[in-house]
């Protein structure tokens, strides 16, 4: 094969990598990752709202050197992207989370490991030597359980392994109406299990209690399931007054709240001692409540409410370096990518994930250069505009 022909087969956008991933994943696995809740209107809104934002390029600026780096919690990163928590990555690649984590470490980006990972948090920590403070910080995502003491051991394990923050998912008191999962339940293949929990006894492998609750057909049936749920079901009784103080009492790790969608909750997060927030409608997949706003359209008011007191992290539908640019312009300090990591894993494991990060970094650098922006701090709301109401002309934000 000629060099020209070979290069034409190499994907050059994240969307092209997703197309390849779709051909390689079983349909039910692809649907599990790609689909949202209910009619998936909010999922499409995420992309639609990104596309409504237009970049206002400035010229006659010396952009011979563009610096994409940023600093979060005192740690410098080559560009403002980190890996969002994504469950069960061995469904995408035999080494799953290990490949993703090794890619994150190799390019110097932070990764949040899902508590629903198919590799144990200790194995991921060991593979990447995350206790090495010269490397990127690794964080651990947590669903707090009905009995918070049940979660204490997992928190302590994460801290002992070298993770520096707990990313508490706060938007999942119950699972959203995931229609695709209800019609085609995803069952882990034989020999694969959740790495952070005790393996089910041989011959006993049923759906998690959350999945049983999801399939309830009546309110009475749901209430009966809830009564029998036990301490391991996701907590539906977290409060500002109790949950964050309790977490600070059991760990020295930073506490990041993932799932903030209003300025009211952002202010409460600051007031009650959160170290950072993630503006998120559940990883951009809208797997909880459909018909919520796109995260990019609530980001500006949330960033204004936080007013720089803690980092504002953004999550939701990022597929291009220009999307990263837009999120930073609207007040994000860091941008998470979830599905693109999964597509990269499916495409070519560690190398595929590295390809995704390289694409996004190069696109961000190019966007900054063409917009007349020399470093991350120069990306502001003035860099963006939207079409006027009558469809002609641009209004500054």
Residues 328, 80 contacting (CB under 8 angstroms):
yes
> In this structure, how many other beta carbons lie within 10 angstroms of the beta carbon of residue 72?
16
Residues 17, 347 contacting (CB under 8 angstroms):
yes
Query: Annotated binding residue at 372?
Result: no
Query: Annotated binding residue at 389?
Result: no
Q: Which of the residues 193, 217, 248, 282 is marked catalytic?
A: 282
Query: Annotated binding residue at 157?
Result: no
Instruction: Count the alpha carbons within 13 Å of 380 in the hemisphere toward its beta carbon.
Output: 6
Query: Annotated binding residue at 143?
Result: yes
Query: Annotated binding residue at 27?
Result: no
What Rg, from alpha-carbon coordinates, does the chain have?
A: 21
Helix ranges (DSSP H) in the chain:
3-8, 14-24, 27-34, 41-52, 97-107, 121-128, 148-161, 179-183, 209-214, 219-227, 243-250, 263-271, 295-306, 321-329, 339-371
Query: Annotated binding residue at 374?
Result: no
Query: Annotated binding residue at 85?
Result: yes
Query: Annotated binding residue at 178?
Result: yes
Query: Annotated binding residue at 76?
Result: no
Query: Annotated binding residue at 391?
Result: no
Q: In this structure, are strands 70-72 and 75-77 parallel, antiparallel, or unpaired?
A: antiparallel
Q: In this structure, are strands 75-77 and 54-55 parallel, antiparallel, or unpaired?
A: unpaired
> Which of these, 85, 136, 133, lies nearest to 109 by C-alpha position?
136
Query: Annotated binding residue at 197?
Result: no
> In this structure, how many other beta carbons lie within 10 angstroms of the beta carbon of residue 187?
12
Tokens describing residue 349 = 């494991």
Query: Annotated binding residue at 198?
Result: no
Query: Annotated binding residue at 32?
Result: yes
Residues 103, 344 contacting (CB under 8 angstroms):
yes
Query: Annotated binding residue at 282?
Result: yes
Query: Annotated binding residue at 319?
Result: yes
Cα separation, 346 vs 94, whole angstroms: 10
Cα separation, 93 vs 218, whole angstroms: 38
To the query of whether residue 282 is one of the catalytic residues in this protein, the response is: yes
Query: Annotated binding residue at 36?
Result: no
Residues 136, 111 contacting (CB under 8 angstroms):
yes
Cross-strand bridge partners of residue 82: 336
How many angstroms from the chain centroid is the CA of residue 394? 31
Task: Map tokens 């009784």 to a residue.
Answer: 237
Task: Report the binding-site residues for glyoxylate.
Answer: 32, 143, 178, 282, 287
Residues of the binding site for FMN: 85-87, 114, 141, 169, 258, 280, 315-319, 338-339
Binding-site sequence positions: 32, 85-87, 114, 141, 143, 169, 178, 258, 280, 282, 287, 315-319, 338-339
Give me the active site residues, please. Answer: 282
């Amino acid at each position: 094969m000629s060099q020209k022909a070979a290069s034409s087969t190499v994907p050059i956008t994240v969307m092209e990598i997703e197309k390849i991933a779709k051909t390689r994943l079983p349909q039910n696995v692809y649907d599990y990752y790609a689909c949202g809740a209910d009619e998936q209107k909010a999922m499409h809104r995420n992309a639609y709202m990104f596309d409504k934002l237009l970049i206002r390029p400035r010229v006659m600026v010396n952009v011979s050197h563009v610096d994409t780096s940023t600093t979060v919690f005192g740690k410098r990163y080559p560009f403002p992207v980190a890996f969002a928590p994504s469950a069960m990555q061995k469904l995408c690649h035999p080494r799953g989370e290990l490949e993703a984590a090794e890619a994150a470490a190799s390019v110097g980006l932070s990764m949040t490991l899902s508590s629903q990972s198919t590799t144990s948090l200790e194995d991921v920590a060991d593979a990447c030597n995350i206790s090495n403070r010269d490397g990127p910080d690794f964080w651990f995502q947590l669903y707090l359980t009905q009995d918070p003491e049940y979660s204490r051991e997992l928190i302590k394990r994460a801290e002992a392994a070298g993770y520096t923050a707990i990313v508490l998912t706060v938007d999942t008191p119950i699972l959203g109406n995931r229609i695709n999962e209800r019609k085609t339940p995803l069952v882990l293949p034989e020999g694969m299990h959740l790495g952070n929990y005790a393996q089910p006894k041989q011959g006993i492998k049923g759906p998690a209690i959350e999945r049983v609750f999801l399939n309830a057909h009546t309110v009475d049936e749901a209430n009966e399931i809830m009564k029998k749920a036990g301490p391991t079901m996701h907590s539906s009784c977290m409060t500002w007054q109790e949950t964050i103080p309790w977490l600070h009492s059991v760990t020295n790790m930073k506490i990041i709240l993932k799932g903030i969608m209003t300025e009211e909750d952002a202010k409460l997060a600051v007031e009650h001692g959160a170290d950072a927030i993630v503006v998120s409608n559940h990883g951009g997949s809208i797997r909880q409540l459909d018909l919520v706003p796109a995260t990019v359209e609530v980001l500006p008011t949330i960033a204004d409410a936080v007013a720089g007191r803690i980092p504002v992290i953004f999550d939701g539908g990022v597929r291009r370096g220009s999307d990263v640019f837009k999120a930073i312009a609207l007040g994000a300090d860091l941008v998470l990518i979830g599905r693109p990591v999964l597509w990269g894993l499916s495409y070519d494991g560690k190398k595929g994930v590295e390809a995704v990060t390289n694409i996004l970094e190069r696109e961000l650098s190019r966007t900054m250069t063409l917009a007349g922006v020399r470093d991350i701090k120069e990306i502001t709301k003035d860099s963006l505009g939207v079409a006027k109401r009558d469809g002609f002309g641009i209004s500054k934000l």
